[in-house]
Amino acid sequence: MGVLIEVDKSKRYMPEEGAFYRRLRARHRRGRWSLLFNYFSVSLAALALLALFFNVANQAFGAIGLVNTIEPQKLTNGRPLDALNNNELALILAEHVSGRLRVLIRDTISQVAVDDFTSASVAEIVGDAKVDPALAGELLKNISPEQQAGLLAKYADRGTLRNLVLDEVVEQQVIASFPLVDAIFNFDSVKAEIEGPILQDFRRRERLDDAEVTIIRFHSWLHNEFLTTPMSSIPALAGVRSALIGSIGLMAVAVVVALPIGVGAAIYLEEYAHHGFINRLIETNVRNLAGVPSIIYGMLGLAIFVRALAPFTSGMIFHYNFDVPTVGSVIERIAPAFEGATITIRSDAAVVDVATVERVVDTFMFYGSPSLTMHGNSDLREMSRSLAEALRIAVDSVPVRADEDYDIELRGDYYRFDVAPISNVAAISDDTFNALMANLVRINSFSPNGRTLLSAGLTLVLLILPIIIINAQEAIRAVPQPIREASYGLGATRWQTIWHQVLPAALPGIMTGTILSVSRAVGETAPLIVVGAATFLVTDPTSPFSQFTALPIQIYQWTARPQGQFANIAAAAIIVLLALMLTLNAAAIILRNRYSIRF
């Protein structure tokens, strides 16, 4: 290797060997430090993600302790449940859940259609003409609980009766839940705690002095029924169906409205508008809007969609039936909650039929009775007191004293039911009934008044529109100019060029941006709270004009509750939400990879 260029020594600026190697080592050292920092950053991110997954999984799965409300041995004087015969089992039902016997008959042995059930005779219901002639022609509601139990004993098989006793009387409850880590590594102390202080507490609270822990077992709070059942105030029975449908509905509204508007705006800004001052001003503002906190969009949505455009977003101008709260429509909506049930509520809070009270409370809450508020727990005393209070307000035209019992009963069909003191069994007059209903209508503002799925969806449209516009603009800008020129050069109009060349080429980018922004919208909570998402909803949204709730709202509401089990179902709901978002993101990636055009 000879010298390539003869260089004047006095003109050398580059470092000589010693200095060069010294500096080289320093250069490599700096590189190693930055590499170390990069490793650290990546590990931190991975750790955060792991912690999230761990935390959610720890809550969503774990151990639960179950308690029988009434011990089977107590029902049977110590004989095993399996040893009882039909009559004995039916008598237990008559003794403990007399008010639900008709529902049980309807759900097990009835031979008539559900709609005809309340007007069918006993003989028709059991499908046996040779039934006791004293009962055959009677309506089921007019015979005594013992006679109803007799029918069950005669026409249901023993296994069915045994299961009814287990479900309706023994009635297992979850008294404690422990997270996954405790359940795996600390099972003994979990067991000790459930069988010790937690059980004591439960006995005292529920006045069940001899309640025992039946079983402590592993439980996944995320299960099939979790997706298919609506909200309940008992965590173990609660599900996310309404919230899931609500979230999907919101997504649908958001995409259907935001996509055409966003793409239209992007096309205008990129392809039509002159790139002058006004265009720059608009683009800058759109970019700023993308960074506006979501709650501000919530305020905007509240002002515009919920308030100003209420006739539109509540469906009034489409004559949607929510806005004609006739007595008939009120009863039609409330009646299913009362169906087949006789509920007795004493103001001293001895509640006969817990499930029915819950359903009634849920229904009342759905229709927004101001006097009915859940005080953050499912304490039955609280609930029944609230319910009694609500009923008292509703029936203020009926002479009612606080210490009296009431019997609310569905009569004949959905359109009539009675509210009357038990001491005065005679049905109240039609006038009183109508006054009661008028009161209910007045108390329960029936329309969601613009606080609908549509309003919330449109609010999310405002939220994601800037993101969609920016993404669409970038996708359109990325379409190579020669493609446009080729199209124009063949005599295409501007719109033909956009429609046939620019949009197809930009579509994967537009779709990706849209899906990503929608998956952001699905996780939004704040604007939905502001525009009035329901926090407790047992009915699914059936139209854009329905009241709604959404997954993040449900999660937010559950995590705000003090009982541990709500934290468990909140974690399960988080898994559902994450799964929904991952699905959306996967869809975005698949779309991009499958349809992207390489030039």
Partner 1 sequence: MAAVLRPAETPADSSLVLELRACSFYYGAFRAVADVSLPIYQNKTTAFIGPSGCGKSTVLRGINRMLDLVDGARVEGEIIYRGKNLYDHEVDPVEVRRRIGMVFQKPNPFPKSIYDNVAYGPRLLGIKKKGILDEIVERSLRGASLWDEVSGHLNKSGLALSGGQQQRLCIARAIAVEPDVILMDEPCSALDPIATQRIEELMWELQREYTIVIVTHNMQQAQRAADFTAFYNIRKSLENGQEIRWGELVEYDDTSKVFGNPARQETADYIAGRFG
Question: Rounded to whole angstroms, how far apart are CA atoms 60 and 178?
Answer: 10
At which residue do the structure tokens 């403990």 appear? 96
Nearer to partner 1, 245 or 505 (CB): 505
Nearer to partner 1, 427 or 483 (CB): 483
The 3-state DSSP class for residue 343 equals strand
CB of 596 to partner 1, least distance (A): 10
CB of 501 to partner 1, least distance (A): 6
Among 215, 234, 582, 597, binds partner 1 (CB under 8 A): 597
Among 130, 274, 319, 401, binds partner 1 (CB under 8 A): 274
φ, ψ for residue 217, nearest 5 deg? -145, 170
Nearer to partner 1, 273 or 300 (CB): 273
Report yes or no: 141 and 101 within 8 Å, Cβ to Cβ. no
Nearer to partner 1, 75 or 591 (CB): 591
CB of 508 to partner 1, least distance (A): 12
Nearer to partner 1, 164 or 505 (CB): 505
Question: Rounded to whole angstroms, how far apart are CA atoms 472 and 514?
Answer: 8
**Cα dist from 564 to 135, 229, 373, 486, 523, whole Å:** 49, 20, 21, 65, 23
Among 488, 526, 581, 584, binds partner 1 (CB under 8 A): 488
Residue 305, judged by CB atoms within 10 A of its CB (0-12, 13-18, 19+), counts as buried
* Dihedral angle over CA of 201, 204, 209, 210, nearest 10: -20
**Cα dist from 563 to 80, 158, 189, 206, 557, whole Å:** 34, 38, 20, 16, 12
Site map (CB under 8 A) of partner 1, residues 493-522, x = contact: x--x---xx--xx-----------------
> Residue 251 is encoded by which pair of tokens?
């997504």
CB of 475 to partner 1, least distance (A): 14
Among 139, 282, 400, 483, binds partner 1 (CB under 8 A): 483
Beta-strand pair 172-179/61-68: antiparallel
List binders of partner 1 among 166-185 (CB under 8 A).
none
Among 356, 487, 512, 565, binds partner 1 (CB under 8 A): 487
Stretch that binds partner 1, among 98-106, 129-137, 222-230, 488-496 (CB under 8 A): 488-496
SS3 letters across 405-448 = CEEEEECCCCCCEEEEECCCCCCCCHHHHHHHHHHHHHHCCCCC
Among 275, 280, 381, 411, binds partner 1 (CB under 8 A): 275
SS3 letters across 178-200 = EEHHHHHHCHHHHHHHHHHHHHH
Report yes or no: 474 and 517 within 8 Å, Cβ to Cβ. no
Stretch that binds partner 1, among 22-30, 316-324, 486-494, 539-547 (CB under 8 A): 486-494
φ, ψ for residue 430, nearest 5 deg? -60, -35
Among 492, 526, 581, 584, binds partner 1 (CB under 8 A): 492
Q: How many Cβ atoms from other residues are within 10 Å of residue 25's Cβ?
A: 10
Beta-strand pair 342-345/406-410: antiparallel
Q: Is 277 in the site for partner 1 (CB under 8 A)?
A: no
Nearer to partner 1, 133 or 276 (CB): 276
Nearer to partner 1, 223 or 275 (CB): 275
Among 100, 162, 333, 484, binds partner 1 (CB under 8 A): 484
List binders of partner 1 among 316-375 (CB under 8 A).
none
How far is C-alpha 72 from the chain's CA centre? Answer: 35
CA angle 7, 9, 14 (to 5 degrees): 85
User: How many residues interact with partner 1 (rule CB under 8 A)?
Assistant: 23
CB of 516 to partner 1, least distance (A): 24
List binders of partner 1 among 413-442 (CB under 8 A).
none
Nearer to partner 1, 320 or 488 (CB): 488
Nearer to partner 1, 2 or 489 (CB): 489
Question: Rounded to whole angstroms, how far apart are CA atoms 263 and 498?
Answer: 11
CB of 487 to partner 1, least distance (A): 7
Nearer to partner 1, 23 or 500 (CB): 500
Among 344, 476, 338, 349, CA closest to 414: 338
Site map (CB under 8 A) of partner 1, residues 84-123, x = contact: ----------------------------------------
Question: Rounded to whole angstroms, how far apart are CA atoms 382 and 161?
Answer: 32
CB of 530 to partner 1, least distance (A): 42
Stretch that binds partner 1, among 414-422, 478-486, 518-526, 568-576 (CB under 8 A): 478-486
Among 568, 585, 576, 513, CA closest to 550: 576
Binding-site ranges for partner 1 (CB under 8 A): 274-275, 480, 482-493, 496, 500-501, 504-505, 597-599
